[in-house]
Amino acid sequence: MPAARLRVLTRNAALGPLDYRAPAEGVPVGSVVRVPLGPRELHGVVWEADRLPTTEVADAKLRPILGVAPVPPIPASVRRLVEWVAAYYLVPPAAVLRMVLSVTAALDGARTVTEYRVSGILPERMTEKREAALSSLGDAQGLVRELAEWSGVSDAVIRGLISAGAIEPITVSVDRAPPLPDPDFGPPVLEAEQDAAASALVAAVKAHDFAPFLLDGVTGSGKTETYLEAVAAAIDAGGQALVLLPEIALTEPFLRRFEARFGCKPVQWHSDLRSSERRAAWRAAASGTAKVVVGARSALFLPYPDLRLIVVDEAHETSFKQEDGVPYHARDVAVMRAQIEAIPIVLATATPAIETLAQVTRGRYRHLELASRFGGAQMPGIEAIDLRVTPPESGRWLAPPLVEAIKETLARGEQSLLFLNRRGYAPLTLCRHCGTRIECPNCTAWMVEHRLVKRLQCHHCGLVEAVPDACPECGEEHSLVACGPGVERIAEEVSALFPDANVALVTSDTIHSPAQAKALVDSALAGEIDIFIGTQLITKGYHFPELTLVGVVDADLALKGGDLRAGERSFQQISQVAGRAGRGEKPGHVYIQTHQPEAPVLAALVAGDAPGFYAAETEARRAAAMPPFGRLAAIIVSGPDEAEVAATARAIGRAAPTGIDGLTILGPAPAPLSLLRGRFRHRLLVHAARRADVQGLIAEWLGGTEVPRNVRVAVDIDPYSFV
Ligand SMILES: Nc1ncnc2c1ncn2[C@@H]1O[C@H](COP(=O)(O)OP(=O)(O)OP(=O)(O)O)[C@@H](O)[C@H]1O
Ligand SMILES: [Zn+2]
C-alpha cells in the first residue's frame, strides 16, 4: 500500500511544494503543520495535491511531518486566494502563503499570563497606600503594572500586597476573545440617502453572495456611518467583517466612530502592533472570535473562517498598492477574496478610481451614491490663486490672498489647513558656489533637508546624514542653500506671519502610530490647533468641524509626475483635502495656489465638475488603450552591477514576444530611479489589450531567459509606479 502522502506548501518562496508522510490518523487539508527540511523545521500548510503539482519523491524517501500546529486549518477560501494571487501576480504561492502565516508566534499553542485581583484577605500590616490601593481596585483584574496604574500606587505596593496574600494571582489565556461588538449599541439615525445605501448593503450581507458595491459619497456624506450598518449585519449574522484602511493614521478617527457605534474597539491589524498584540490579533481572526478586524492591506490575508463583508475605505488610495515583496493591489485582491468567499464588498470613496468607475459602467459593480453632506453641511467653495498674477513675496510660498484668508480665519477663531505633499524643510540642497546638488549615494534622488531634526534624509532608502557645514564637492563653507519648500518651511513662514497661532505639523515624520493620531485628533477637537500644515496624511478621513479654510500650497506638484494617473491623482488629492473644509455648521473655503489655473484638473475642481473631469479622463484612457481599457505590466531588472543589469535587460528585450496583436513593449531603458538602495535598475513596460493573457505571455517570455545570480527580475502586474 502506498504511504499516505501530504503535499505541503511552506512559507519559503525558494522552495516548491514538498511531500511528507502523513501520520496514521491522517491530517485534514488546510492544516498548519511543522515539517523537517534537512536539519531545519518549517511551518507549512497541507494542500490539495492536484492543485499544486510538484516532482514527487519516492514513497520510501518520504519523511514524516513533525506535528500539526494547534491552530484552525487554513480555510479553502484562503487557499484559493493564495493560488489566485500567485497566478495573477506571477509570484510563488509560498510567497503569498507567507502573508497568510505572517505571525510565527501565533502558530504555537495557547499561552497564558498571570493577572492579579483583590483576594478579600486583608494584609497583616495595613498602610495608607495599601488601603487606598485595595479600596480603589474593587474587582479589577490585570497585570501588576496595570493594577498599580489604576490605583495610583507604585508597583512595589502591589507586589507587597501580593506577598501578603491580599492580591491573588489568576492564570488567564492571552488568547482571550476580543470584546464582542454590539450591533445595537449606538445605531445612528440615517438620512434618507444613507438609509437607502445602507439597506442595499445590509440586504447583500444577508444574501451571503458576491456583490461588489461602489459607495460613492461626497466628502462628509457619512460613508462610514453607512457602511457600519453592513458591518452590524455581518456581526448579527454571526460572521466576521473586515475594514481595510489605507494608512495607520486613519485608524484613530475610525476607532472613535466604531466604538460609538458598537460599544468597543475592533481588532486592529497594522505594522505598529506589539508582537503580543499581533499574535493575539492573528489568532482571534483565525479562530473567528474577532468579529471585526480593521487594518492595513495585509489584513486581507488573515485566515478568517467566516468572513461576511469586506469594506475598502478610501478605496481610490494608491497606497493600497504594495510595491515591495508581492506587488499586489489590495483593492483588487479584496474583490477577488469577496468573490471567492461569496460575500459583498464595499469600495467607499468620495473620489473613485477610474478603474472602479469603469466597473460600474460595465455593470459589474453597483453604484450607491451619497450626493450631499450629512446634516445639511455645504460643500466648500473652491477658488484658484493664480501665482502668475498674485505671487508670494520673494522667499515666501504663501500668496497674499491665502495669507489674508488665514488671517481672517484666525480672527474668527476657526481652523485652517495648508496642504503640501512634501515632507521636510526643503526638497533640494544646493551649493551656491559650485551648483552641486546634494544627492543620495544609493539612489537617484536628492537628499531632503529635515531641519527639525537637523538632518538630510533620502526618502527612498532612508539614509540619514548630518547637514554639512561646507559643500561636499567644492569645500566652500556656508554655501549650501535650501531650495523649494517642504511642510517644515511652510510652518516656519506661518509662524513668522502669525506668531501667536498654534501650528500642528502632520506628516509621516510626526504621525506614525495610532497613538500619535489620537493625540492629534484630541487636540484638534479641543481647539488647541489653529493651523494644520500637512502632507497627504492630513487630506482624508479627518472630521474637524471648526476647520473652515483649506489652502493647497502647490497644486502643480502632483501634475508634474506625468504618469498615466497624474491627473486623476491630483484631482483626488485636492478634492480630498478640500473636503476637510466646512464639514460642520460653518461654511468652508478652499484656495488652490497654481501657475496653471487653466489645467483641466484644476478647472474642473474650481467649477465643481467632477463628472466632467471623470468623463474626460476616462475618454483619454480609452483613446490610449490605457488601464482599465488596456493592460500594463512592468518588468524591473535590478542588481548591484550596472553592466550586468543592462545586459540582462537587453537580453530580455531581445527575447520579447513579437507579432501579437495590440502588444507593445517599451524599453528596456534605465529606470527614472535608475539607482535605488544601491541597486541599478532598468525597466521594460508591456502594454497589451484588455483581454490579453499578459501573465501567460510574460511567464513564457521570462521563463526562457537566463538571469545571473546577482540580478533580480521582478514583474509588476498593473503597475502604479513608473519610476
Ligand atoms: N446618520 C448620521 N448620524 C449622525 N452623525 C452622522 C451621520 N452620518 C454622518 N455623520 C457624521 O457626519 C460626519 C461626516 O461623516 P463621515 O466622516 O463618515 O463622512 P465621509 O463620507 O466618510 O467623508 P470623507 O470621505 O470626507 O471622510 C462625521 O462626523 C459623522 O460622524
Ligand atoms: Zn537613498
Q: How far is the CA of 539 from the centre of ligand 1 (A)?
A: 15
Residue 3 in this model has a pLDDT that exceeds 70: no
Q: Buried (b) or exposed (e) across 684-721, using 16+ Cβ within 10 A?
A: bbbbbeeebebbebbeebeeeeeeeeebebebbbbbbb
Helical residues (DSSP H) of 24-127, grouped into ranges = 76-89, 93-100
Q: Is 523 within a domain?
A: yes
224 CB within 6 A, ligand 1 = yes
Please indicate, yes or no, whether residues 665 and 534 belong to a single structural domain of this protein: no
Contact predicate 594/383, CB 8 Å: no
User: Could you report the per-residue pLDDT of 351-383, keeping only the tens digit for each?
Assistant: 999 999 999 999 999 999 999 999 988 899 999
Please give the Cα distance from 30 to 73 (Å, whole number): 5
Q: Give the structural domain span for 576.
A: 377-422+485-618
Helical residues (DSSP H) of 553-689, grouped into ranges = 557-560, 566-578, 600-607, 610-623, 642-654
The enclosing domain of 49 has a CATH number of: 3.40.1440.60
374 CB within 6 A, ligand 1 = yes
Residue 563 in this model has a pLDDT that exceeds 90: no
Q: Is the peptide bond before 668 cis (omega within 30 degrees of 0)?
A: yes
* Best CA proximity match to 574, nearest among 543, 551, 595: 551
Pocket probe mutation, ligand 1, options 219, 374, 540, 572, max atoms within 8 Å of Cβ: 374
Q: Give the end-to-end CA distance of the chain in Å, rounded to a whole number.
A: 57
Please indicate, yes or no, whether residues 530 and 597 belong to a single structural domain of this protein: yes
541 CB within 6 A, ligand 1 = yes
507 CB within 6 A, ligand 1 = no
Q: Is 61 within a domain?
A: yes
For residue 290, give Cα distances in angstroms to 34, 41, 235, 256, 308. Answer: 25, 30, 10, 18, 13
User: For the whole model, what pTM was predicted?
Assistant: 0.90
Residue 690 in this model has a pLDDT that exceeds 80: yes
* Best CA proximity match to 204, nearest among 214, 217, 191: 214
Q: Is 660 within a domain?
A: yes
Please indicate, yes or no, whether residues 326 and 383 belong to a single structural domain of this protein: no
User: Which of ligand 1's atoms lies nearest the C-alpha of 349?
Assistant: 25
Please give the Cα distance from 97 to 498 (Å, whole number): 54
Provide mean pLDDT across the span 309-336: 96
Q: Is 186 within a domain?
A: no
Residue 1 in this model has a pLDDT that exceeds 50: no
How many other C-beta atoms can be found within 10 angstroms of the C-beta atom of residue 560? Answer: 9
Q: Is 465 within a domain?
A: no
188 CB within 6 A, ligand 1 = yes
Please indicate, yes or no, whether residues 24 and 86 belong to a single structural domain of this protein: yes
Residue 324 in this model has a pLDDT that exceeds 90: no
Whose C-alpha lies nearest to ligand 1, atom 1? 190
Please give the Cα distance from 251 to 295 (Å, whole number): 8
**HSE (CB half, 13 Å, CA atoms) of 56?**
14
Q: What percent of the chain has pLDDT over 90?
A: 80
Whose C-alpha lies nearest to ligand 1, atom 14? 220
572 CB within 6 A, ligand 1 = no
β-pairing, 67-68 vs 503-506, is: unpaired
Please indicate, yes or no, whether residues 386 and 304 belong to a single structural domain of this protein: no
Domain-ending residue, one of 74, 101, 128: 101
Provide mean pLDDT across the span 532-558: 92
Q: Is 21 within a domain?
A: yes
Q: How many domains does the chain have?
A: 5
Give 601's contacts (C-beta < 8 A, 6+ positions apart). Answer: 559, 567, 570, 571, 574, 613
Q: How far is the CA of 459 from the centre of ligand 2 (A)?
A: 7
Q: Is 430 within a domain?
A: no
For residue 471, give Cα distances in angstroms to 141, 220, 478, 479. Answer: 61, 49, 8, 7
Please indicate, yes or no, whether residues 564 and 652 belong to a single structural domain of this protein: no
User: Which of ligand 1's atoms lies nearest the C-alpha of 370?
Assistant: 21
Please indicate, yes or no, whether residues 131 and 214 belong to a single structural domain of this protein: no
Provide mean pLDDT across the span 284-294: 97
For residue 504, give Cα distances in angstroms to 190, 534, 537, 586. Answer: 33, 8, 13, 21
Q: How far is the CA of 349 from the centre of ligand 1 (A)?
A: 12
Is 474 a known ligand-binding residue? yes
Q: How far is the CA of 412 from the centre of ligand 1 (A)?
A: 24
- DSSP 8-class letter at 391: P
Is 483 a known ligand-binding residue? no
Please indicate, yes or no, whether residues 163 and 275 belong to a single structural domain of this protein: no
pLDDT of residue 139: 83
Please indicate, yes or no, whether residues 290 and 152 belong to a single structural domain of this protein: no
Please give the Cα distance from 566 to 473 (Å, whole number): 35
Residue 659 in this model has a pLDDT that exceeds 60: yes
Band the pLDDT of 2: cuts 50, 70, 90. low
For residue 391, give Cα distances in angstroms to 394, 398, 402, 534. Answer: 8, 8, 11, 21
Domain-ending residue, one of 374, 401, 435: 374
Contact predicate 251/517, CB 8 Å: yes
Please indicate, yes or no, whether residues 505 and 590 belong to a single structural domain of this protein: yes
pLDDT of residue 534: 95
The enclosing domain of 700 has a CATH number of: 3.30.70.600
Mean pLDDT of the chain: 93
Helices (H) and strands (E) in the chain, counts: 20, 30
Please indicate, yes or no, whether residues 224 and 313 belong to a single structural domain of this protein: yes
For residue 333, give Cα distances in angstroms to 189, 244, 290, 667. Answer: 33, 12, 21, 29
Give 319's contacts (C-beta < 8 A, 6+ positions apart). Answer: 246, 247, 297
Contact predicate 565/614, CB 8 Å: no
261 CB within 6 A, ligand 1 = no
576 CB within 6 A, ligand 1 = no
pLDDT of residue 697: 94
349 CB within 6 A, ligand 1 = no
* Best CA proximity match to 420, nearest among 482, 484, 488, 487: 487
User: In this predicted complex, what is the ipTM?
Assistant: 0.97
Q: How far is the CA of 225 from the centre of ligand 1 (A)?
A: 6
Please give the Cα distance from 100 to 235 (Å, whole number): 23
Chain-centroid distance, C-alpha 156: 42
Phi, psi at residue 70, to the nearest 5°? Answer: -80, 60
Residue type, position 629, single letter: F
- DSSP 8-class letter at 122: P
Angle at 684 between CA 427 and CA 691, to 5 degrees: 115
Give 682's contacts (C-beta < 8 A, 6+ positions apart). Answer: 636, 637, 638, 645, 646, 648, 649, 667, 668, 669, 670, 671, 674
Q: Buried (b) or exposed (e) across 367-377, using 16+ Cβ within 10 A?
A: bbebebbbeeb
Among the bound ligands, name the one nearest to the CA of residue 465. Answer: 2
Residue 109 in this model has a pLDDT that exceeds 80: no
Contact predicate 718/329, CB 8 Å: yes
How many other C-beta atoms can be found within 10 angstroms of the C-beta atom of residue 646? Answer: 17
Please indicate, yes or no, whether residues 319 and 413 belong to a single structural domain of this protein: no
The enclosing domain of 340 has a CATH number of: 3.40.50.300
User: Could you report the per-residue pLDDT of 235-273, keeping only the tens digit for each?
Assistant: 999 999 999 999 887 888 899 999 999 999 999 999 888
Band the pLDDT of 108: cuts 50, 70, 90. confident
Contact predicate 504/547, CB 8 Å: no
For residue 207, give Cα distances in angstroms to 136, 194, 308, 699. Answer: 49, 20, 10, 39
User: Could you report the per-residue pLDDT of 668-682, keeping only the tens digit for each?
Assistant: 999 999 999 999 999
* Best CA proximity match to 498, nearest among 508, 490, 507, 509: 490
C-alpha dihedral over 531, 536, 542, 544, to 10 degrees?
A: 20
Is 434 a known ligand-binding residue? yes
How many other C-beta atoms can be found within 10 angstroms of the C-beta atom of residue 481? Answer: 12
* Best CA proximity match to 350, nearest among 628, 540, 615, 601: 540
Q: Is 182 within a domain?
A: no
User: Which of ligand 1's atoms lies nearest the C-alpha of 189?
Assistant: 1
User: Which of ligand 1's atoms lies nearest the C-alpha of 540?
Assistant: 27
User: Could you report the per-residue pLDDT of 380-424, keeping only the tens digit for each?
Assistant: 999 999 999 999 999 999 999 999 999 999 999 999 999 999 999
Chain-centroid distance, C-alpha 49: 34
User: Which of ligand 1's atoms lies nearest the C-alpha of 314?
Assistant: 25
User: Could you report the per-residue pLDDT of 440-491, keeping only the tens digit for each?
Assistant: 999 999 999 999 889 999 999 999 999 998 998 899 999 999 999 999 999 9
Collapse the DSSP code of 61 into the 3-class scheme (helix H, G, I; strand E, B; otherwise coil) and give the result.
helix
pLDDT of residue 60: 87
Domain-ending residue, one of 374, 406, 433: 374
Q: How far is the CA of 259 from the centre of ligand 1 (A)?
A: 14
Collapse the DSSP code of 665 into the 3-class scheme (helix H, G, I; strand E, B; otherwise coil) and give the result.
strand
235 CB within 6 A, ligand 1 = no
Please give the Cα distance from 71 to 163 (Å, whole number): 37
Give 395's contacts (C-beta < 8 A, 6+ positions apart). Answer: none
Whose C-alpha lies nearest to ligand 1, atom 5? 188
Written as nine digits, the cell of 276 is: 503580543
pLDDT of residue 318: 92
Angle at 414 between CA 408 and CA 420, to 5 degrees: 80
How many other C-beta atoms can be found within 10 angstroms of the C-beta atom of residue 176? Answer: 11
Q: How far is the CA of 219 from the centre of ligand 1 (A)?
A: 8
User: Could you report the per-residue pLDDT of 491-517, keeping only the tens digit for each?
Assistant: 999 999 999 999 999 998 888 888 888
